[in-house]
């Protein structure tokens, strides 16, 4: 992209056609006469080849002038660049892996596998956010610290299974662990996504107290209760009859989960099947969008010296030809 820093000088190009008209009108008055007694010999003389190029000097002079005028206008080559500024979000996925997550009311998957599948898609959809993974049952531990390497997070997520931790549901402890992971975060937005299917029955910290700590540290918590309403089928390995299913009531402490979300400025969701769970993660994805600011600027490279050198070269060529090939005798 060519840009002129001083385009007003380009008006001088209008002088070129004026000078051309002046040159052509001046031609007839520049003829000279010589007297000879016999001009017959001159009829046999063919005009030199240079005769048809007799206007070349004027053309070169006009070209040199045009190049000089363009150089005065300061042509510049523009190169457009973009600077992308992002305000990333730090997200801790906090996943319940207690034995109740084996319930198969998210057929054909159980609750844990359905949650892992949806969480994986959520991770793949992020671009500039750090994501970590915390799991909990009777206790809580960090499966993966905050990272931008989504492949590593997904690999750790795939390794999550029931039985890694002693059974139980320590929701308060899980929140505290997730918030602790965000303690030193400098991200514009810090988020915990907590997914559980039960009530807090283990751990030294209750969920509401942990939520108040999260609020003090400017951490927002989205809570998700997973499980159908009423009763759900739970698989049981019977040593005599093998695997069989029993119906057990779904007991999610929605009041506490709503309170936790409300305290921190988050939101509570209820997922009764995989489709609704996918919609919930899609909604959270829209609520927690990374702000991306694009600044566009153009760098200019000065080209006027190239044009000036070209004008000088043409002018030198015109002077050389005027004193050699097209030299005029007095």
pLDDT of residue 48: 57
Number of other residues whose CB lies within 10 A of the CB of residue 157: 22
Q: The tokens of 298 are what?
A: 């153009």
Share of the chain above pLDDT 70, in %: 83
CB 59 within 8 A of CB 314: no
Q: Report how far apart, in Å, the C-alpha atoms of 94 and of each of 47, 60, 126, 128 are.
A: 98, 79, 17, 20
Query: 284: helix, coil or strand?
Result: helix
74: left (phi over 0), alpha (psi -120 to 50) or beta: left
Half-sphere exposure in the Cβ direction for 159 (13 Å, CA)? 12
What is the C-alpha to C-alpha distance for residues 234 and 329, in angstroms, rounded to an integer?
115
- 3-class state of residue 202 by DSSP: coil
- Could you give the CA distance from residue 311 to residue 73 in angstroms, rounded to a whole number? 14
HEC-encoded secondary structure of 95-128: EECCHHHHCCCECCECHHHHHHHHHHHHHHHCCC
Question: What tokens does 330 get?
Answer: 């007095």
Task: Report the greatest alpha carbon distance in the chain.
Answer: 142
CA 181 – CA 15 distance, rounded (Å): 74
- Residue ranges covered by each domain of the chain: 52-75+303-322, 85-293
pLDDT at 264: 96
pLDDT recorded at residue 36: 61
**Residue 150 pLDDT:** 94
How far is 227 from 294, CA to CA, in rounded Å? 42
Cα gap 277→274, rounded to integer Å: 5
Name residue 75's beta-bridge partners.
4
| CA 240 and chain centroid, separation | 58
Which one-letter DSSP state was computed for residue 52? G
Tell me the mean pLDDT per 10 residues along the chain, length 330. Answer: 80 85 71 59 57 73 87 80 69 96 91 96 90 96 94 96 93 97 89 96 94 96 95 83 84 96 96 94 84 63 83 84 66
| Residue listed under structure tokens 């029993």 | 246
Query: What is the assigned CATH class of domain 85-293?
Result: alpha beta
pLDDT for 303:
79
pLDDT number for residue 177: 97
198 three-state secondary structure: coil
Give, in order, the Cα–Cα distances in Å from 97 to each of 61, 143, 234, 263, 278. 87, 12, 14, 25, 19
Using CA atoms, how far residue 53 sits from 43, 61, 170, in Å, is: 21, 14, 98
pLDDT value, residue 26 = 76
How many angstroms separate the CA atoms of 164 and 177, rounded? 17
Q: Which pLDDT score, from 0 to 100, does residue 297 have?
A: 63
């Amino acid at each position: 992209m060519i840009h002129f820093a001083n385009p007003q000088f380009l008006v001088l190009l209008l002088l070129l056609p004026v000078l051309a008209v002046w040159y052509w009108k001046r031609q007839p008055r520049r003829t000279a006469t010589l007297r000879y007694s016999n001009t017959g010999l001159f009829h046999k003389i063919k005009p030199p080849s240079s005769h048809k190029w007799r206007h070349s000097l004027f053309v070169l002079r006009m070209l040199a002038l045009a190049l000089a005028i363009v150089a005065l206008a300061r042509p510049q080559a523009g190169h457009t660049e973009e600077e992308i500024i992002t305000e990333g979000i730090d997200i801790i996925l906090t996943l319940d892996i207690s034995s109740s997550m084996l319930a198969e009311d998210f057929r054909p998957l159980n609750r844990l596998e359905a949650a892992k599948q949806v969480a994986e898609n959520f991770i793949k959809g992020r671009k500039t956010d750090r994501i970590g993974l915390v799991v909990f049952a009777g206790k809580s531990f960090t499966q993966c610290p905050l990272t931008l390497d989504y492949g590593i997070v997904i690999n750790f997520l795939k390794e999550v299974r029931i039985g890694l931790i002693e059974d139980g549901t320590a929701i308060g402890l899980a929140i505290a662990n997730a918030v602790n992971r965000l303690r030193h975060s400098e991200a514009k937005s810090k988020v915990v996504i907590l997914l559980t299917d039960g009530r807090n029955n283990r751990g030294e910290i209750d969920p509401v107290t942990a939520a108040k700590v999260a609020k003090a540290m400017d951490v927002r918590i989205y809570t998700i209760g997973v499980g159908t309403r009423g009763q759900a089928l739970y698989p049981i390995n019977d040593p005599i009859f093998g695997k069989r299913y029993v119906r057990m009531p779904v007991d999610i402490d929605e009041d506490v989960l709503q309170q936790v979300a409300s305290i921190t400025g988050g939101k509570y969701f209820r997922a009764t099947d995989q489709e609704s769970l996918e919609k919930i993660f899609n909604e959270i994805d829209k609520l927690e969008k990374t702000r991306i600011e694009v600044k566009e600027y153009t760098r200019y490279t000065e080209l006027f010296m190239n044009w000036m050198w070209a004008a000088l070269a043409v002018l030198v060529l015109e002077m050389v030809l005027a004193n050699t090939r097209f030299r005029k005798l007095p």
